[in-house]
Amino acid sequence: MILGKKKDKDVEIPSASLADIVFLLLIFFLVTTSIDTEKGLDLVLPPPGDIEVKIPKKNISNLFINANGQAMLDNEIVEVNEIQRLVKEKLFENPLLIVSLKTHKESEYDVYIKVLDQLKRAQAKRISLADPDEE
């Protein structure tokens, strides 16, 4: 028995509006995307727990920031924008130098970032954040 073949019907999805629909979707995603990337200063915190590492005194440089936004590098009061030069000189003399950064709890975050920025520009890779003084 031969089954009669069905007549080929002209079935087609209209694709004329496809481009328009895709355009709409494109515009939606264009508008919602925000390309701007976050920028800032990277830092890796030490793992939790107190690890006592003995560092020879000559490899440590102390940097304090007080509540008035003044900086003190190795017992000398310095201008914040001088730190880059001073630390660079110290690093040249001793490449193993670790800068220990200590802040007063009332000092401003702005100064801290400025100092950190100076240290980064001086290519000081070894920065230690000392615990703030407990009172």
Which parts of this chain interact with another protein (CB under 8 A)? 18-19, 22-23, 25-26, 29-30, 32-35, 37-48, 65, 103-110, 112-114, 116-117, 120-121, 129, 131-132
Q: Closer to another protein at the Cβ: 22 or 96?
A: 22
Q: Closer to another protein at the Cβ: 59 or 125?
A: 125
Walk across the sheet containing 71-73 and list its strands.
Answer: 76-78, 71-73, 60-65, 98-103, 127-129
State the minimum distance, in angstroms, from the CB of residue 3 to another protein: 39
Q: Closer to another protein at the Cβ: 17 or 75?
A: 17
CA 50, distance to chain mean position in Å, is: 24
Residue 34 makes CB contacts below 8 A (sequence gap 6+) with none
State the minimum distance, in angstroms, from the CB of residue 21 to another protein: 10
Helix (H) or strand (E) holding 135: none
Q: Closer to another protein at the Cβ: 92 or 109?
A: 109
State the minimum distance, in angstroms, from the CB of residue 122 to another protein: 9
Helix (H) or strand (E) holding 35: none
83 burial level (CB within 10 Å; 0-12, 13-18, 19+): buried
State the minimum distance, in angstroms, from the CB of residue 119 to another protein: 9
Q: Which amino acid is at 68?
A: N
